[in-house]
Amino acid sequence: MVGVQISEKEALDTKMYKALQKLLCKEREGNNSGAALLKVELQEKEAELQRLRRESRLERERTTYLTEAGIEKALEEVMTNIAGPLANLSAMQARYRQEGNIKVADLLSVAIKIEASLHDFGFEAFGAVGETTSFDPGLHHLLDADIPVESEPVVVRFTGYRYKGRTIRKAMVRKVSEITKEQLPDGTGI
């Protein structure tokens, strides 16, 4: 609708320009009745132009409001989904401060719940730690100085992430020939 209003506005601007030219010609010729009619027509066109400008501004404001409201609603939905796991995490923090220890299984459970909640919105992990795969510079960030040839085997050290199919964090990998037991984050080797 905004595109239509803009073309109407352009047409109106052209009509106003032509009417103004006619008005100036009539005034030069001394034709006051024709000039008066053209002045009225020019005033009507000016009022129409002002109306179209106002409608265009209101439409832009409405579109901006709807966009912001949609973003706000989507963020609220994400926050609602992860609020439960974050509450569990908060309780674990309090327990850790009081008792000085925390169960790793409980912490991993919270992490899994958060990841599952985000998955519902298009967030997904790829490349499990320890997995051997072909090197792809679009998906992998190499931790070695020696860059492998594309499709050369590499081992995933840190998982990568996608959002709605777009890579937002590449998986960190090492060449298979350079992996040793102590280099993996959990110290378990391959």
pLDDT number for residue 37: 76
With tokens 């674990």, the residue in question is: 92
Write down the pTM of the prediction: 0.57
Q: What does the block give as tokens for 5?
A: 């209003």
**Chain centroid, CA 172 distance in Å:** 24
Higher pLDDT, 13 or 77: 77
CATH of 122-190 among 3.40.50.300, 3.90.1170.50, 3.40.30.10, 2.30.22.10: 2.30.22.10
Segments making up each domain of the chain, as ranges: 2-80, 122-190
**Beta-strand pair 171-175/153-158:** antiparallel
CB contact at 8 A, 23 and 38: yes
Q: Are 160 and 125 in contact (CB under 8 A)?
A: yes
Q: Tell me: pLDDT of 167 over 50.
A: yes
Q: Which residue has the higher pLDDT, 12 or 165?
A: 165
pLDDT value, residue 157: 96
What is the C-alpha separation between 80 and 57, in angstroms, rounded? 34
Arithmetic mean of pLDDT, 144-162: 87
The pLDDT score that the predictor gives to residue 100 is 87
